[in-house]
Amino acid sequence: MAKSRLGRGLGSLFDDTSPVVEENDDVKSLKITQIEPNKDQPRKNFDDEQTEALANSIKEYGVIQPIIVVENGNRYKIVAGERRWRAAKKAGLKEIPVIIRQYSEREVAQIALIENLQRENLNPIEEALGYQTLMDKFDMTQEEVSSKIGKSRSAVANSVRLLSLDKPIQEKLISGEISSGHARALLSISDKEIKNMVLESIISKGLNVRQAEALARQLQNARPRKKREEIDEQVKTQIEEIENNLSSLLGTKVKLIHSSNHGKIEIEYFGNTDLERILNILNNN
């Protein structure tokens, strides 16, 4: 029976605004204190304003749609409807209507994840964590996840890639300071300094995704030239030091002409006597 429930349209089964009561469902009333949230719930942040609005509605009309729970020892775990449960608590209700279903622990976790991911109102990091959990905990491939959720495999892959961002950038994504498009632009940058520069510009200048991508390309293209210039300057300094040392040793002007695969040393002398002096110095050294 549990498997047949899993095969149904989860969008209609768990959507907060659509009916979930079936003909053979028995709606019961449980104390709110008997019920606990599901730790595998991918949603970590509940909008306070939305919860408050729902609580006000519940004060006036009650909980119209039961939540779905499973037995968990002498308590009950929420499968779907945590926002309604939170709002009912805020509204001061002591009891809430529930439908008690029979699901295994694995099914509860999987349903909770898929239900929330299908509703598409998680923040991008919650969504990515949900996909990753389906793959890690339930041994799903990206193709299987995309089939369950109804999204393309590339969409799932791009979402999961967001988890490789540094935590401070993930926090900006969660807070809405940057979008998923901005985050993907940042993912293309390997240099941490450039990545932080682009992030700062996105926030301070309000760059859109295309502008952020253009800035990332510009800074990344400029960085190699800068490094080459720094290397060239270092080589130039070393050559000058060699020239000065040789000039001091030989008592005449020395020029070192250098490239990566060949070069030459020019030693200035004045007449045969000066040449013999320089040769004697070289022979003795």
The residues assigned a catalytic role are: 82
| CB within 8 Å of 217: residues ≥ 6 apart | none
Q: Is 183 helix (H, G, I), strand (E, B) or coil?
A: helix
DSSP 237-252: HHHHHHHHHHHHHHTS
Q: How far apart are CA 63 and CA 60, in angstroms?
A: 9
Q: Is 86 helix (H, G, I), strand (E, B) or coil?
A: helix
Q: Is 103 helix (H, G, I), strand (E, B) or coil?
A: coil
Are the C-beta atoms of residues 183 and 165 closer than 8 Å to each other? yes
DSSP 136-159: HHS---HHHHHHHHTS-HHHHHHH
Q: How far apart are CA 86 and CA 122, in angstroms?
A: 17
Closest CA to 118 of 256, 18, 243: 18
